[in-house]
Structure 1
Amino acid sequence: MSSDNKPVTQVTIEKRRNGRWSFVIKRGAVVYPAQGQFTSQLEAHAAGQMTLKALENKR
């Protein structure tokens, strides 16, 4: 599969109602639900990026 055919993957950071932060991974049409209860936006972003790298290395 060439790099042109790979689905677009992105990490979105969201603030929950309780004031905590979480991340959502979107890969093409697949959406992995919100994960985590992080105290800062930076923590949520770092965790989301680490999870994304783990998913990419798994293939």
Structure 2
Amino acid sequence: MEQEFKQGYWMHRILSNLNRLDVDRLDDADRERVETARDPLKGVSLLTRPGDGAGADAHADS
């Protein structure tokens, strides 16, 4: 579980950093790169599983 937490933390940090960029000051190519990187990260949460396409149940496995 610790590995999943770390991955979620880093995805959150990356998205936060991308959102802080002043895209109005970037050229068109760089603006497109930022949007391309930011869009998939917006739909990711700690409860999303790769290939799942939806959020996973919030139940812990016993």
Structure 2 length-normalised TM: 0.31
Which has the larger Rg? 2
More strand per residue: 1 or 2? 1
Structure 1 length-normalised TM: 0.32
More helix per residue: 1 or 2? 2
